Amino acid sequence: MAEPATTGRATTRRCFLTAAGAAGLAAALTACGGGDDSSSAAPSQGGGGKGMELAKTSDIPEGGGKVFKDHQIVVTQPKAGEFKAFSSVCPHAGNPVGDVSGGTINCPFHGSKFSITDGSVQAGPSPKPLPGAEIEVKGGTISMA
């Protein structure tokens, strides 16, 4: 007995809907990521990685710091000769921090402020501190570690 003409169309529609659903699921899983939500996650290295020079130690003001947007990292110098690094992505909404001034790393989007010493929340809506990042200070140069 011959199959009805609609079977081919129903199968095609079913295949299309299945494929579209699978593609949507794959996109959702990719967007959600599979990593843990720990605050120790290293920031993205943007255009470079380990060993890449970020700055001279003299470029980082004592009691302040500098944001390296391309590398999603902020380097601070809380006191003379002590350098710290943190992710420059604000944990509150994922926006980049804007600057370092007044002893804090400042997010211009919602007002979060973070300590230049340990990345802890000093003000604003951020529920978490800035995650630490690794740098290497050698011979007056600060590099990605």
64: CATH: 2.102.10.10
Structure tokens at 144: 């990605």
Quickly tell me which residue has 């929340």 as its tokens. 121
Residue 2: predicted pLDDT: 52
Specify if 82 maps to a domain. Answer: yes
Specify if 131 maps to a domain. Answer: yes
**Where is 77: in which H helix or E strand?**
strand 73-79
> For residues 118-131, b (16+ Cβ closer than 10 Å) or e, as one string?
ebebbebebeebbb
Residue 35: predicted pLDDT: 35
Specify if 46 maps to a domain. Answer: no
Residue 34: predicted pLDDT: 35
Residue 42: predicted pLDDT: 40
Specify if 26 maps to a domain. Answer: no
Specify if 63 maps to a domain. Answer: yes
Domain around 75: 53-144
Specify if 66 maps to a domain. Answer: yes
Specify if 107 maps to a domain. Answer: yes
Work out how many domains the chain is built from and give that number. 1
Q: Please tell me the distance from the alpha carbon of residue 97 to that of residue 69, in angstroms, as a whole number.
A: 9
DSSP state of 145: -
The tens-digit pLDDT sequence of the chain (145 residues) is 554 444 444 445 554 444 444 444 344 333 333 333 333 334 443 445 788 999 999 999 999 999 999 999 999 999 999 999 999 999 999 999 999 999 999 999 999 999 999 999 999 999 999 999 999 999 999 999 9
Residue 50: predicted pLDDT: 85
Specify if 35 maps to a domain. Answer: no
Structure tokens at 120: 């802890």
